[in-house]
Structure 1
């Protein structure tokens, strides 16, 4: 086969536009993907603020990028919405989203190197070193000595102001039939 034969061939399938776009989500998504592919990506290291923050505060660049991702990223959006978001993003926002923003579900490993003794508590081995997880901003427990009138200042609308209230008989107490 000569090189001349390569230029005479048509490598595109014999389909019309409608058949080519059948697997795509929408025509707008095809346009958004094309825009994304044609975009110029500068060779700038956004991890180092000296390389891109000539005027203004690098902290504000990072803060506004995180704010835009957190508040405007279409988490439940279509492919077209996600691609359009990417196309409208600044380069630093793309860098933060791709490299720094947590996009996966995490996990925790407790006592990976710690050995358990022969002591068991409720069927589980007890590790040599106890490990704990601290959660902040939880149920906001009030002082036990605080009167109920301060917890529910307006009894006509029953809005709890300071606490999350656990009610194990929620349905029965609200007049619903129990199981």
Structure 2
């Protein structure tokens, strides 16, 4: 039987995204080359929400992209099932952009490594910063987030599930014990 603990409620998630948008505004608000790329699937949903907050705060439209990293994974040949391929949409020039790469959970760092490789196939951005809703530790690669919604200390046998209303009909972050 799986034990579940709610880490972030719907209100907590909204507050956290608002705070993360404030941090971006403080650091990069004056950067006219600011762009956001969300890692498919839930990272892309969170990126859309951040974009909407930033558009309102900055008084301009921030370019938004969606990135599928499945073909860049270093473990896809070892997976027991076929990876689910999503679309990549980057409707702006990566060259010289200040990209905020958005993901839901930072764990081993392998997803971020794959995302960086995928982004570089589109061009060379001026900078790439990482924003994650939850950092659960246990890195296998030397990667850290520039913007973190919540740090959660976990054990290897635990999972962090981010649920978003766009896909799951609820906003919630849950820690699951196997």
Q: Which has the higher strand share?
A: 2
TM-score of the superposition, structure 2-length normalised?
0.18
The structure, 1 or 2, with the larger RCO (C-alpha pairs under 8 Å, 6+ apart) is 2
User: Which structure: larger Rg?
Assistant: 1
TM-score of the superposition, structure 1-length normalised?
0.18
